[in-house]
Amino acid sequence: MHQENFKQKIHLVISVIIVVPASFIYGFDLLSQLNIDLNTNDELNTFKAIMGLYLGFSSLWILGIFKLKYLYAAIISNAVFMLGLGVGRFISIIIDGLPTFVFISGIIGELILGFYGLWVLKRFK
């Protein structure tokens, strides 16, 4: 892979590697992995919808990795997705207090990937 091509896509690859498994944890295995107990069908439905959203965005990122015509959209959506999650978690820290280590590392990773995406967009050809 060409070096510039690698720089444009590495954050998409990392995002897919993280977000796809996270989507299945949100959709099917929340209690055992994250100590979140869902009690109603509405709560279960909400987390299945989050799973679908994560898988949908991951699909666009995969398209961007392999097809140049989708790369720009993939980079934009990835930056918005990651920064949206990171900002939301940051707001939660301010309002709700510190979460567990898993979520603290999540905010750091999301912000890094989001800002990296913005950096790539600035240099996009």
Is residue 4 very low, low, confident or very high in pLDDT (cuts 50, 70, 90)?
low
Q: Which residue reads 């949908």 in tokens?
A: 56
> What per-residue confidence (pLDDT) applies to 21?
94
For residue 105, what are its two tokens? 């590392």
- Residues 49, 57 contacting (CB under 8 angstroms): no
| Percent share of the chain, pLDDT over 90 | 71
Please tell me the predicted confidence (pLDDT) of residue 38: 77
pLDDT (tens digit, 9 = 90+) per residue, 84-95? 999 999 999 999
- Phi, psi torsion values for 3, nearest 5 degrees: -55, -45
pLDDT score of 29 more than 90:
no
